[in-house]
Structure 1
Amino acid sequence: MRTANSGIVEIEGNEIAVTHPDKWLWPELEINKFVYLQKLVLLAPYLMRYCQDRYLTTIRFPDGIHGKSFYQKNAPKPLPPYVHTAEKEGIHYINLDSLSTLIWLGNLAAVEFHPSFERIGGQAPAEWVLDIDPSVEDEPRLMEAVAIIGETLHSLGIQSVPKTSGATGVQIIIPITEGHTFAQLKKIGGFVSKYLVERNPQLFTIERLKKNRGTRIYIDYVQHALGKSLSAPYTPRARQQATVSTPLFWQEVEHNISPHAFNLWTIEERLAKHGDLISQVQKQDLNPIIDRIRT
């Protein structure tokens, strides 16, 4: 890639025009579009694993993270021939199935990547996710709360991986085998969440209205549903610190690691050292737990 006013890069045999490579996207961390595209190449094997064959929503920041932004579900036109789409309910979503598509999106200043919970053409969940959302911006109890949830899941025989959202919260991801439904996972989520609220009423809540939560930490098990989406593992976020949504070790949670510890400058070393922590957890059959809750 060239840092002239514009340039052409060749990826997978496709020529992609790069416009305004010197435009600042994260000015505080000196990340312009040229640097961002380089970072996307690094993130591609990890980010695409959780976006490919999903209905993708992106958030675009044409003038950098401090400028105006917009959500994009419908694929913009015209589309290059290497960009594939999938139609659902009249919307033509982009399928992030190639590095060429990722770099093309990066050139459009797509900064955040939010895939659907279901795969294209299906109605079953690809994984189970609990979204842990603090009610205040800098919540000192966040990692303590996440650790308690992890211990509760472990007591049920459920292996899970926490990941920073890259914003203020944490998501807990549970890889699952095929055959589960969103309704079943919502039932488990409700069971676990209500138990945690009963045990820790000053720490947790399942109140959806933020104005009614006070300072309690919201366990969102409802967001995990057909047609919904969430920030992907390894997506960058439009935050001043250029944070990246990053899977964690449970030991890191117990040691109160900062949700802002990983960004576009630091993520390379972590991935080289640890790889993708989510893919290292075996997919689980939750049907025995579902049957126990049903009885």
Structure 2
Amino acid sequence: MASSATEIEAGGRTVRISSPERVIYEATPWSAEVTKLMVAEYYVAVEDGIMRALRERPTTLERWPKGFREDMVMATRADGHGDAFYQKRVPQGAPEYLESARIQFPSGRHADEICPTEVAVVAWAAHMGTLTFHPWPVRRTDVEHPDELRIDLDPQPGATFADARRVARTARALLEEIGIRGFPKTSGNRGVHVYVRIEPRWSFTELRHAAIAFGRELGRRTDGVTVSWWKEERPEGSIFVDYNQNARDRTIASAYSLRAKPGAPVSTPLTWDELDGLDDPRTLNLHTVPQRLDELGDAHAEIDDVAHSLDTMLEWHARDEEQGHGDLPYPPDYPKMPGEPKRVQPSRERKE
């Protein structure tokens, strides 16, 4: 009979894990079954990496209290019903050592979000059913000025991880051309993320403009890249540079986060050479990543050593505006934003 609760040690604290034997991920041909206790133990095992990704950052929790199954659905704001949900405010029953940070949504409303300062907070979140951590690109000392640019290379239908890997190589060359060091990681699915630490002196709007400009410039350097917001305009087999991941209140799964996909995959930091040699990102999962971190260390260990400037990318954006290529649409849940073009699906606009 399964025990009702157990305790684990996390950074010098004792964290209670309820229903430790609950199956969170079913076994797959490439990955063994994962229990709730194993999820919590995984996050303690990757403390060095997960805390580098989350420390002092307001963080949204992606919670799957029943575990993950492919037929489960994420609750949306519209219906509020689902098997999983995003927790943007500190949950009730949080431990006394949990700290928070106040952030502002695009609507102008505020919220106090979890702000991890120690691994016990991460383990407690796992006890609460959290699989994925979504940190803001800011530190709580200055929540209005991002310190990180996130380049999200998202394969569209017909594209593969190999396509994202190819575009990431060009992204690396483009960054190095302007004196910037990027740090890649797998998305935990088919995509690639490249993170760039920046000086915290630009707004979210400027950060997003830099991402748009980088995506456009990347498309000039290699085939198969798009920044089209509307899916109907993205070519089949292309890689979408999701610039809106840099908008206020939009976040990406952190380094070392589990993803809600079969096999308990992990969004895993890699060196550029390791990325070039990786054929199947599913091999980077809960069972394999802790040993990798122990043996090889964190590929993002030096990410905080340099803070870069966005000046060149913002110059590209100003140039593009002069040539008639201005801002692009925001996500549908945003209020109308300054300088934004019409937020109407092209086929629908033609029909009207």
Structure 2-normalised TM-score? 0.75
- Superposed CA deviations along residues 61-101 of structure 1, whole A, max 9, x for unmatched, are 11111152111112221222122223333322111222221
From the superposition, tell whether residues 250 and 20 of structure 1 become closer, same or farther in structure 2 (CA, over 3 Å): same
**Counterpart pick for 2:52 among 49, 54, 59:** 49
The 5-angstrom pairing of residues 135-284 of structure 1 reads 135-136=156-157, 139=160, 140-200=162-222, 202-215=223-236, 216-281=238-303, 282-284=305-307
From the superposition, tell whether residues 24 and 106 of structure 1 become closer, same or farther in structure 2 (CA, over 3 Å): same
- The answer for unaligned runs of 5 or more in structure 2 is 73-82, 104-108, 320-352
Distance 2:158 2:45 in 1: 30
- Shift of residue 6 of structure 1? 1.7
What amino acid sits opposite 1:100 in the alignment? A
Distance 1:234 1:137 in 2: 27
Question: How many correspondences in the alignment?
Answer: 292
Distance 1:112 1:137 in 2: 26
Instruction: Give SS of 2:256's match.
Output: coil
Distance 1:193 1:241 in 2: 31
Counterpart check, 1:71 vs 2:86:
yes
- The answer for unaligned runs of 5 or more in structure 1 is none
Asked if structure 2 preserves the Cα contact closer than 8 Å seen for 1:144 and 1:256, the reply is: no
Instruction: Give SS of 1:223's match.
Output: helix
From the superposition, tell whether residues 5 and 291 of structure 1 become closer, same or farther in structure 2 (CA, over 3 Å): closer
- Shift of residue 212 of structure 1? 2.2
Asked if structure 2 preserves the Cα contact closer than 8 Å seen for 1:59 and 1:113, the reply is: yes
Distance 1:287 1:9 in 2: 43
**Larger CA deviation: 102-111 vs 189-198:** 189-198
Residue 31 of structure 1: aligned partner: 34
- Shift of residue 240 of structure 1? 0.8
**Larger CA deviation: 10-19 vs 190-199:** 10-19
Distance 1:80 1:182 in 2: 31
- Shift of residue 233 of structure 1? 0.8
From the superposition, tell whether residues 84 and 134 of structure 1 become closer, same or farther in structure 2 (CA, over 3 Å): same
What amino acid sits opposite 2:18 in the alignment? T
**Larger CA deviation: 150-159 vs 188-197:** 188-197
From the superposition, tell whether residues 206 and 20 of structure 1 become closer, same or farther in structure 2 (CA, over 3 Å): same
Distance 1:258 1:10 in 2: 33
Distance 1:255 1:7 in 2: 40
- Shift of residue 248 of structure 1? 1.5
What amino acid sits opposite 2:91 in the alignment? P
From the superposition, tell whether residues 254 and 23 of structure 1 become closer, same or farther in structure 2 (CA, over 3 Å): same
Distance 2:195 2:182 in 1: 6
Structure 1-normalised TM-score? 0.89
Q: Percent identity?
A: 25
From the superposition, tell whether residues 285 and 11 of structure 1 become closer, same or farther in structure 2 (CA, over 3 Å): closer
The structure where strand makes up a greater share of residues is 1
- Superposed CA deviations along residues 219-252 of structure 1, whole A, max 9, x for unmatched, are 1223213332111111111111211111111123
Counterpart check, 1:111 vs 2:111:
no
What amino acid sits opposite 2:61 in the alignment? T
Residue 96 of structure 1: aligned partner: 116
Residue 312 of structure 2: aligned partner: 289
What amino acid sits opposite 1:274 in the alignment? L
From the superposition, tell whether residues 22 and 193 of structure 1 become closer, same or farther in structure 2 (CA, over 3 Å): same
